[in-house]
Amino acid sequence: MSEKTVIVVFPTIFSLNKIDCLISNISKILKMKSQSYDRIQQNDSVIIIDAKDPVIASSIIGTLFGIDKIAIATEVENSFENVLSNITKIGSNLLLKGEKFLIKVEGQTTQYMPKDLELAATSSLIEKTVHLQTKPGSETTYDKLLYTYLTKSHAYICIFIDKGNGGIPYNSHNEKILCCVHDEFSAISCLQIIKMGFEPKILVCYQSEPDLLNIVKMINQILSHIIQDKVELQFCKLSLKSSGSSSILFKVAVITEILSVLATRIKIERISISVSPMIFPSWFIEYNAKAILKKNLMPWFPLLGVDNSIFENANELGLEKYMSKIQNLCKLRFKGNNIQQDKIRKISQVAIKTRKTIMVKTGTKNVHDIIDSIKSNH
């Protein structure tokens, strides 16, 4: 029986009706990264990629949204005896002395029950590795998981399996949203926009050179999740001097005004605002929504219902070192609801006049290139 090493992508439950889009994203990102492959195809509810270098390709694919988990697996034809012998062979090669293992089989087949294969493979592997003194573990206690997924035609015995980023495929809505990255919280908000299946159009608002450098480092993390060869970034410099909780509200209100003006100019209907009722007062969220609606635009709040999972998302997406600042933001107490409209308009108008646009290549560590481009344009 023929066997080969392939990449198996398991779409999230929300991506099952968007598999064609996910396949397209996988193909695009592999081509962008110059990774060759022989095939990408759907097999039941999973996507199979036959790549020249499965390790590198799986790492690249793992940056995409719309994926529940991703595995490097041995693909074999689906018959009970064939799958059983391959699980036993692969398991005996992976297990070390004294390790506990768990065999888990999922998927569908008309020939036999996955549970029967689990039991038979567990028994076979115990016998095969008796010299290693291995033992079967439980769902909660094991050293190695030996996972197999069944389709009607094939079985995929996983050598390596990793968690995906969740969400739905990039730009599966085929809609753009204008968002601003101006601090750590807004960077997470921008990533949530991508995770929700939109294409972000990114504005960077900064106040100083150190501030710009910090934000650009976060932008570099975001770029790795955007499936485009080059991304247009816009930059505006804010002239804000005060500090404290009231200044944070004022800054966000100014950015909302800037986004509203730019969205009208570049004809984008949706604006993302990085506020959440978990942190900001409800009246302030409503203020921003009304300010955008007044311009006949549509407000989006990607972090509206996000709780502690925001920290998990940030860690998984490479933004874990910025979490202390978000934690500090959570500790602030906001008082009053006085928004100075005239002052907001004045500062936003000045900021818009500083606007610069640059094109950057995605997925590369080009922090200094971005900084140099901004300085040369100013």
Q: Same domain for 57 and 12?
A: yes
How many whole angstroms separate alpha carbon 10 and alpha carbon 213? 36
Domain edge (last residue) among 144, 166, 188:
166
Tally Cβ neighbours within 10 Å of residue 232: 12
**Largest pairwise CA distance in the chain:** 79
- Residues 25-29: contacts with CB within 8 Å, 24+ apart? 25/64, 25/66, 25/169, 25/170, 25/227, 26/61, 26/64, 28/227, 29/60, 29/61, 29/63, 29/64, 29/227
Q: Same domain for 275 and 362?
A: yes
Residue 118 sits in a domain whose CATH number is 3.30.2130.30
Q: Same domain for 362 and 217?
A: yes
Q: Same domain for 148 and 228?
A: no
Q: Same domain for 63 and 208?
A: no
Does residue 171 fall inside a structural domain?
no
Residue 97 domain boundaries: 3-166
Q: What is the pLDDT along the chain (378 residues), one digit of tens a residue?
A: 467 999 999 999 999 999 999 999 999 999 999 999 999 999 999 999 999 999 999 999 999 999 999 999 999 999 999 999 999 999 999 999 999 999 999 998 888 999 999 999 999 999 999 999 999 999 999 999 999 999 999 999 999 999 999 999 999 999 999 999 999 889 989 999 999 999 999 999 999 989 999 899 889 888 989 999 899 999 999 988 765 556 888 899 999 999 999 999 999 999 999 998 888 888 999 999 999 999 999 999 998 866 566 666 666 656 666 666 666 776 667 776 777 888 999 999 999 999 999 998 876 667 777 888 787 665
How many structural domains does the chain have?
2
Beta strands in 238-334 (DSSP E): 270-272, 298-300
Does residue 300 fall inside a structural domain?
yes
Q: Same domain for 270 and 122?
A: no
What predicted TM-score, i.e. pTM, was given to this entire model? 0.89
Q: Are the CB atoms for 256 and 205 separated by under 8 Å?
A: no
Q: Same domain for 148 and 247?
A: no
Q: Same domain for 183 and 155?
A: no
Q: Same domain for 236 and 314?
A: yes
Name residues whose C-beta falls within 8 Å of residue 93's C-beta, 6 or more positions apart in sequence: none
Q: Same domain for 19 and 145?
A: yes
How many whole angstroms separate alpha carbon 48 and alpha carbon 65? 16
Q: Same domain for 197 and 260?
A: yes
Q: Same domain for 42 and 155?
A: yes
Joined tokens for residue 131:
């010299």
How many whole angstroms separate alpha carbon 307 and alpha carbon 311? 8
The amino acid at residue 221 is Q
At 31 the three-state DSSP class reads helix
